[in-house]
């Protein structure tokens, strides 16, 4: 594995672990043909929007 791939792997695994609780470990999609993903709700998006708003406000001030 190249240096770039190792760095990329760290980034992929970091995000993968963050969302791991939303996935079933077992191969549900392969067996049933129906995927499974727990909803993450709107909290993350709201947090991002709040941060963007704050950053914009700070930039103007």
Partner 1 sequence: MQRAWLELFDWEFVISTNAALCQPKKALHKPTSDGHVRARQLWEANHRREMFLDEAADLCRECHRLAPFCNFNGNTFAAIARNLVHSLKLKADQAHVIRTLLGHVVAGTASEVETKELSAFSRGLRQEQLKKHS
Query: Nearest approach, Cβ of 14 to partner 1 (angstroms)?
Result: 9
Nearest to 40 by CA among 22, 14, 13: 22
What is the number of other CB atoms lying within 10 angstroms of the CB of residue 22?
Answer: 11
Query: Nearest approach, Cβ of 61 to partner 1 (angstroms)?
Result: 20
The verdict on 5 binding partner 1 (CB under 8 A) reads: yes
End-to-end CA distance of the chain: 47
**Local structure of residue 38 (DSSP, 8 states):** -
Query: What residues make contact with partner 1 under the rule CB under 8 A?
Result: 1-2, 4-5, 8-9, 11-13, 15-17, 19-20, 23-31, 33-37, 40, 44-45, 48-49, 51-52
């Amino acid at each position: 594995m190249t240096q770039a791939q190792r760095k990329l792997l760290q980034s992929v695994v970091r995000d993968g672990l963050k969302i791991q609780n939303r996935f079933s470990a077992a191969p549900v999609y392969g067996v049933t043909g129906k995927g499974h993903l727990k909803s993450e709700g709107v909290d993350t998006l709201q947090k991002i929007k709040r941060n963007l708003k704050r950053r914009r406000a700070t930039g103007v001030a």
